[in-house]
Amino acid sequence: MTKIAKADLHVHSRFSEQSGVWLLQQIKMAESYVEPEYIYSLAKKRGMTFVTVTDHNRIEGSLFLKQKHPNDVFTGVEVTASFPEDGCDVHVLVYGLTQAEFDQIQVLRQDIYDLRDYLKERNLAHAVAHATFAVNGKLAPVHLEKLILLFDYFESINGGRNRFNNESWTDILRALTPSFLEVLYARHRIEPFGPEPWVKGLIGGSDDHAGLFAAQTFTLAEAATVDDFLNRLKNKQTAPAGRHNDYRSLAFTLYKLVYDFGRKNGEVSSKSLLWRVSEAIFEQKPMNLKEKFVLKRLQVVSKKKRDQIKVSLFDMLEQLNRQKTMAVEEKLDLVYDNISAISDMFLASFVRALERDIRKGDIASLVKGSFACLSGLYLCSPFLMTSHHLCSSRQLVEQLAADFGLHQHGEGKKILWFTDTINDMNGVSMTLRKIGWLAHQKGLDLRLVTSLAPNENQFGLPAGTIVLPSIYDFVVPHYEDLRLKIPSVLQALKQIERLEPEEVYVSTPGPVGLVGLLFARLFSTRCVGVYHTDFPAQIREILNAEPVVELCEQYTRWFYSAMDEVLVPTQEYIDILAQRGLARSKMRVFKRGVDSQLFSPAAVSTHCLEKEFNLPEGFNLLYVGRISRDKNLDFLARIYRAVLKEKPDVNLILAGNGPYMQEFRDSLKDCERVAFVGKLEQDRLAQVYAAADLLVFPSVTDTFGMAVLEAQSCGLPALVSDRGGPQEIVQDGQTGFVLPSGRPRLWVEKILELIELARNRPASFYEFRRAARQMALQEYNWDHALLAAIGRGSIGAEGIRVTGTHELSFASGFLEKRVAS
């Protein structure tokens, strides 16, 4: 039985043409500096049966190896061919060719149709290389369709491309059918290559340029000789195997090319620390005693000067010298983690200084400190650029896959949902926790991404939540219950990149939200922003400082304008954001849902709130939310005092915490019927909603008003302002009332009117409660809300009825209480 042979069918030597990258052309940097003989030795060491070299439009390297090793080497070249109709370039690998055939190919490659015909005529083994890579930026789905007709052989695992590109292209090739080829032929009138053009031959190659990853991606075939191997390729009897690329190994390759370039041209001092580290990485060059002594002394000096970059480089050098036989992948991990740590130092230092300078109002120091941030980003930039490069053709591949019917839009996509807040007792955190658990229960490929402080509790987070490592955290001024975490950019990239997200959602415009937006752009994925909080309006109410408000508004506008789509909780806020300059065409309403089982009108005992909160008997007004100036609480105090003058037996219960707590409490200390009950757990809060008589929610800055929806689900009528999102939750005159924000007397009159109704006609007042519950069940179903948000179809939620023992017992309990009163 013939043994399985291996060959890396795509690898470059120093004979490759000068780089096609403009910047590298300007410094005359080559595609590769690797000697052909080194490629041969490395390939054999890594188990290759046969060897070739495929330089860009050059054959000297493979001819040299073929002459030196005639029995296990075959010639090869990577040809740049052009579509004459628009100048789009693609690369075609050709094998087993002679010098004369190479010379003819050099002439014909200007027209890919002529080149194809020549390869077919000469029966030369060949394959289209990395078909989805835009060589000169002109590649489009139409070119890939033409390539499918023109050629029967493709590189499906390219060691220079990432897994997504390789596997997506392979899926497309394997999904081809005779009928689809007929469609392509009718569309382009290109004669297919062979008799069964829907069956493609597949190969693999490392596409190595730096002598690092050669022979780690390869092609398998049953073959005893070079001729057997090439015949197997021509007969579509080969299989690709080996590693895919990622952004780290691509950056490592570029670093190696720069090192080789500097070594060849003598443009870097061999005594520099960076050069010493490079030698240790790429050549494992041992140091003598004198060199070790000098470096140790320099290391001590660097520590005294607190030069963190040099200290970290010295530490890396020591680690490399201690381990003489590290594999390439191990070195890659070591270098990446060290660069990540250095960039984190810069970023944390910048944020620390930023926090200090903002509190002091020191703008000059703020500008100076920004250079530290730039230094950190500079260290990250090679990895960010290579990540983007590898994902640059993503939309092209997805569009072609959609044309082939391989992926239906919105079906089964991997979604990552980024948020700065997940453990806090606010509407955003509660909403996202519900989304995370609901997605898990429904089997949706949706995972939350957040960042937590090192010792922060992770208990209760939705299953699958990704926690990015935090390098610094701080309390947001005037939002003392909100602590922002700064994630490590490179460590976050390491975690997220391997998940290969197909869509990114971003809920908050903080550091984690920025990381989500950055990654969406790096990965060329669709990015959806979710607008939760009107920070400019809140800051205006809290600080009354227009320059700060304007700055916040500009940032918020920029952040959400960078999204492909923005989900907004209410139509009211779509109008508001459109007035602020956000494109209306980008926005759509994302209705929230409510847990109607938890927030339900459960049976309550008579006067339970009065007993629990040590209040006299009476009509119970309830406010739930953050105790902050931006919630219009001074207005609430004003109308409550006015109500007391006419109805002294009215209580006011305030559930929540916030920065205005002490001052607001002091302002109401003369009111004996006011109870500040603090932040309540969800199950206890639901009972308070159900037992109260009326929710009063005067906020003019809320984009939605989760407290209003929860109250309505518990059967509690609500009074809300005509500014902001809560007005769209309340059905005016049926489940509560929407009142002018600047007319306190109207609020007072409506509260008095409802008190009279509850006491004199309790059955009529109960209709408000019943209608509120009914509306919440029908309009705010979480299943439908989530599926609509992420573009899924309905999952057929069961119909909901507003009857049941707890509903009826609540009704009788309510009426019993009112009659007793």
User: Please, are residues 582 and 793 in contact by the beta-carbon 8 Å criterion?
Assistant: no
The answer to whether residue 199 scores a pLDDT higher than 70 is yes
pLDDT tens digits, one per residue of 503-555: 999 999 999 999 999 999 999 999 999 999 888 888 888 877 788 889 899 99
pLDDT, tens digit, for every residue of 558-598? 999 999 999 999 999 999 999 999 999 999 999 888 989 99
Q: What integer pLDDT is reported at residue 37 of this predicted model?
A: 97
pLDDT digits (tens, 9 = 90+) for 641-698: 999 999 999 999 999 998 899 999 999 999 999 999 998 988 899 999 999 999 999 9
Cα distances (angstroms) measured from residue 331 to each of 70, 317, 380 = 35, 11, 17
Q: What is the CATH number of domain 4-245?
A: 3.20.20.140
Architecture of the structural domain at 408-589: 3-Layer(aba) Sandwich (3.40)
- Please tell me the distance from the alpha carbon of residue 454 to that of residue 190, in angstroms, as a whole number: 60
pTM value is 0.84
- Range 408-433 average pLDDT: 80
In the prediction, which pLDDT does 603 show?
53
Q: In whole angstroms, what is the distance from residue 748 CA to residue 740 CA?
A: 12
Q: Where in the sequence of the chain do the CATH 3.20.20.140 domains occur?
A: 4-245
The whole-angstrom separation of Cα 65 and Cα 435 is: 60
Beta carbons of 55 and 16 less than 8 angstroms apart: yes
Categorize the per-residue pLDDT at 275 as very low, low, confident or very high, splitting at 50, 70 and 90.
confident
Residues of the chain with CATH 3.40.50.2000: 408-589, 608-820
Lowest mean pLDDT among 271-285, 433-447, 743-757, 775-789: 271-285
The packing angle between helices 489-497 and 511-522, to 10°, is: 50
pLDDT of residue 806: 43
CATH number of 608-820: 3.40.50.2000
pLDDT digits (tens, 9 = 90+) for 292-320: 666 666 666 666 666 667 777 777 777 77
Average pLDDT over residues 211-216: 96
% the chain with pLDDT above 90: 61
Q: Which one has a higher pLDDT value, 326 or 469?
A: 469
Confidence category of residue 361, pLDDT binned at 50, 70, 90? low
Segment 92-147, tens digit of pLDDT: 999 999 999 999 999 999 999 999 999 999 999 999 999 999 999 999 999 999 99
Give dist(CA 372, CA 349) in Å, integer.
7
pLDDT averaged over the chain? 87
DSSP state letter for 78: E
pLDDT tens digits along 756-786 = 999 999 999 999 999 999 999 999 988 888 8
To 10 degrees, what angle do helices 394-403 and 163-174 make? 20
| pLDDT of res. 709 | 95
Which neighbouring-strand residues pair with 503?
415, 526
The predicted structure's pLDDT at residue 227 = 97
Three-state SS annotation for 371-427: HHHHHHHHHHHHHHHHHHHHHCCHHHHHHHHHHCCCCCCCCCCCEEEECCCCCCCCH
Q: What's the chain's length in residues?
A: 821
pLDDT-based confidence at residue 803 (cuts at 50, 70, 90)? very low
| Per-residue pLDDT at 357 | 64
Q: Are the C-beta atoms of 188 and 143 separated by less than 8 Å?
A: no
Listed as own residue / partner, the contacts of 312-319 with beta carbons closer than 8 Å and 24 or more positions apart are 312/338, 312/341, 312/342, 312/345, 313/273, 313/274, 313/277, 313/338, 314/273, 316/277, 317/273, 317/276, 317/277, 317/280
